[in-house]
Amino acid sequence: MKCILQNHLRGFQFESWPPLADVHYVFAGRSENGQGNLSLSGGRDAQAALAARKTWCDFLQIPAADLVVGSQVHGTQVRVVTNKDRGRGAMDPQSVLPNCDALVTTDYQVPLFLAVADCCALLFAAPGVVAVAHAGWRGMEAGVIPQVLRQLQNLGFAPAQLHVGIFPCIAAESYEVGPEVAEQVPSFAKYRGQGDRWQVDMGLWAQHVLLQVGISLKHLRRAKIDTGCDTRFFSHRRQGLGAGRNALIAVRKPPLINA
């Protein structure tokens, strides 16, 4: 991934992806001095988070006050949002869209916001639509990715049309779990650790499911960056309860028309 610096904050994008002129996005991470958190909740510095949100929205040339934020409850609820939802959760965590872990829009200028600190952040894009999804192990086990695909198909977008990005998330080397979690994880995404411990690879799990539901391998990008050990990103596993949050911001913007 390429690193973008804005106001001393770090953001990331895939190289030359997606090849869709109307989809604009950034995955915002942690700065060298530990700044960059984008979450307004959990007792974190809300003013600093608002400033970080503004930095990345300015980069994307969208108003920070228009961000649409979901509550992210480690479930499978997908919310289709429109222009009337702009601003939900942008300035106040009490106004987020309730009980949803994925956001979809076909409208222009409706910026979608997703916060993560080890879970997978997924971007789905095709001509005419953009979606973001939050996938931790609970959401993965419950089927959040197939649910996003079903919603997109209901809107007329087939899996073969979609480009999907898997952004930096925790990898197996950093993600040790007990048997009660490991039994929920498919065999291809885990291996035995010490004693009764298991190591789980969230990005590999997401990639496997995406291919199963019909996403073309040539349309899929996976960062393969471990947030559990890479200090350019916030990590709940590495930093504990006080960890900040990385964020994926994505928006459809109308193409420029030459005069």
- Give which of 70, 82, 77, 208 is closest to 144, Cα–Cα: 77
Residue 175 CB contacts under 8 Å (≥ 6 apart), including other chains:
118, 199, 200, 201, 202, 228, 237
Residue 34 lies in a domain: yes
Residue 217 lies in a domain: no
pLDDT digits (tens, 9 = 90+) for 14-72: 998 888 889 999 999 999 999 999 999 988 999 999 999 999 999 999 999 999 999 99
Residue 66 lies in a domain: yes
List 249's β-bridge partners, or say none.
26, 113
Residue 241 lies in a domain: yes
pLDDT digits (tens, 9 = 90+) for 171-221: 999 999 999 999 999 999 999 999 999 999 999 999 999 999 999 999 999
Residue 200 lies in a domain: no
Residue 24 lies in a domain: yes
CATH number, residue 35: 3.60.140.10
- Minimum mean pLDDT range among 133-147, 178-192, 197-211, 244-258: 244-258
User: Total structural domains in the chain?
Assistant: 1
Enter the DSSP assignment of 187: G
Residue 186 lies in a domain: no
**pLDDT value at 165 more than 80:** yes
Residue 206 lies in a domain: no
**How far is Cα 146 from Cα 88, in angstroms, rounded to an integer?**
25
Q: Which domain holds residue 85?
A: 2-169+222-252
E strand segments, 89-162? 102-105, 112-116, 120-126, 129-135
